[in-house]
Amino acid sequence: MDGVKLHGTWASPYSIRVKWAMKLKGIPFQYIEEDLFNKSALLLQHNPAHKKIPVLVHGLRPVCESMVIVEYLEEIWPQYPLLPIYPYERSVARFWVKLIEDKSPNVWMVYRTVGEEQEKAMRDSLEMLSILEEHGPNKGKKFFGGDNINIVDIAFGGVAHWMGVVEEVSGREMFDAEKFPRLHAWMGNIKSLQLIAENLPDQGKLCQYLACQREKLVSSSSQN
Amino acid sequence: MAGRVVLHGMWASPYSKRVELALKVKGIEYEYVEEDLKNKSEELLRYNPVHKKVPVLVHDGKPIAESLVIIEYIDETWKEGPRLLPQDPYERAKVRFWAGFLQQQLFEAIFAVIKTDGEAQERAGKEVHEKLKVLEEGIKGSYSGGSPFINGNSMGLLDTVVCSILGAHKIQEEVLGVKFLDPEKYPTVTSWVTALAELPLAKETMPPPEKVAGLLQFLRSKALESAAA
């Protein structure tokens, strides 16, 4: 079996999804921490289209985009399945992954912007939370995957964890426990899994990192 | 595979059209419901309560939404007939990557050219060319040109996405007064799109050029009006 390498960064929720999937499946891999201001030649070679992390390299073959990687892992390493068996249930899981992919960038915009732009990002983030709260799959169960976590939990897990830090850095509250009781219970369930809890970035460090980014972005936009 | 198949779609939606192409490639019999997006059917609202959008495929009363999710469902459910995604997991990953790129990057850039003018349109146009350049580099190795299709002997998921986004490029270019698919800059992409657009399946499924032109003009004038307001 060819070796597996993951190019990622400690501060990326996209990176962490792939890490979680690999650890759940027990896939041995080498992790390469990328400096986004000084990207490695290998990264640029493997992802010329976007020049972004995460990139999985299996043998010589690069796979890019976190959820495309997770589907790839699922097909090659079927242990600890992250997708249901039957096509209809798979389509439901994929629908939710797409929704999370489409709407979660709004969460990053909350700490990256101010004023009207930030207001819009807040509205769109809250909309995503409301939709998941009301319609998210397997309501009444511990996880979006039911009794065990699946691809939807992995997709949203990183977003939800980062959301807490975004709130702190931007001073805007999104993940209100009273408005989103189901999602809060879900978050507790996710974090109670040892594998997830042991593979989260240091909260303080992440806060500092995002605060620094915010300062740069906000001050440069006010100079324009 | 039996069961009643209904597609709720809209003639101008590239998302809807790619699902139609996929159903036809597989030879699946289906009923088609043309939705009026200003007066959506009660079924559509019930089948896609989250987004209230087309396309929605309903198989034996069970709804599936999101065009690429639908096409993967079709491929997994109807095993007879040509494959819509390749068998090899690495090739499948490449299809998913490029489908995402086409949808999120290229399509959005083209849409921006439609909705803007002046400097903003120039910038949007540059974006389109940047994306086309990336696409050209990315698929060069995969598209041999021997057949119209990128993954074998018949139309697959990636072909349907390209067809639905770039198939009408000539009309888009005419209406907008721009040039996207330059065969000298993007020889692989241009020959791929041209070959697909020539297929009888594409010609019978994709909307007629006059209708597309009318829609583009309408979308553009509406967008420019609201931008000026």
Q: Would you place residue B145 in the very low, low, confident or very high pLDDT band (cuts 50, 70, 90)?
A: confident
Please name the residue of chain A whose CA is at the shortest distance from the CA of residue B133.
A49
Among B62, B66, B97, select the one facing A88 at the smallest CB separation. B62
From chain B, the residues in CB contact with A135 under 8 A are 49-50
Please give the DSSP secondary-structure letter assigned to residue A4: E
Helix, strand, coil shares of chain A as percentages rounded to 5? 60, 10, 35
Nearest to B50 among A58, A72, A131 (CB): A131
Considering only residues A41 and B52, tell me which one the structure prediction assigns the higher pLDDT. Answer: B52
Cβ pair A209, A168 in contact under 8 A: no
| Shortest Cα distance, chain B CAs vs residue A122, angstroms | 19
Provide, rounded to the nearest whole percent, the portion of chain B with pLDDT above 70: 99
Nearest chain B alpha carbon to A66:
B97
Which mean pLDDT values do the consecutive 10-residue runs of chain A (224 residues) have? 92 96 97 89 85 94 97 97 98 98 96 95 97 97 97 96 95 95 97 95 94 89 62
pLDDT at site A43: 85
Instruction: Select the residue from B96, B104, B106, B136 to test the A interface by mutation, using most A Cβ atoms within 10 A.
Output: B96
Using an 8 Å CB-CB cutoff, list chain A residues near B77: 87
pLDDT of residue B153: 87
pTM for this prediction:
0.96
Contact B50 A99 (CB under 8 A): yes
Whether residue B73 is predicted with pLDDT greater than 90 in this model: the reply is yes
**Which residues, including other chains, have CB under 8 Å from residue A201's CB and lie 6 or more apart?**
A10, A11, A16
Position B152 pLDDT exceeds 90: no
Q: What angle do CA A126, A131, A134 make, to 5 degrees?
A: 120
Give the 3-state secondary structure of B76-134.
HHCCCCCCCCCCCHHHHHHHHHHHHHHHHHHHHHHHHHHHCCHHHHHHHHHHHHHHHHH
Residues A94, B72: C-beta atoms closer than 8 Å: yes
* Interface contacts A/B by beta carbons within 8 Å: 62
The predicted structure's pLDDT at residue A223: 59
**What is the per-residue pLDDT across B89-117, written as a single tens digit (0 to 9) for each?**
999 999 999 999 999 999 999 999 999 99
Given a cut of 80, whether residue B1 has pLDDT beyond it is no
Q: Do A69 and B73 touch (CB under 8 A)?
A: no
Residue B229 in this model has a pLDDT that exceeds 80: no
Instruction: Given the cut 0.85, state whether the ipTM is greater than it.
Output: yes
Q: DSSP letter for B57, please.
A: E
Q: Find out whether A167 and A173 touch, Cβ atoms under 8 Å.
A: yes
Q: Which one of A95, A129, A134, A135 makes the best mutation probe of the B interface by having the most chain B beta carbons within 10 Å?
A: A95
Please indicate whether, in this complex, the C-beta atoms of A88 and B69 are within 8 angstroms of each other.
no
- pLDDT for res A33: 95
Q: What is the mean pLDDT of residues B148-161?
A: 93
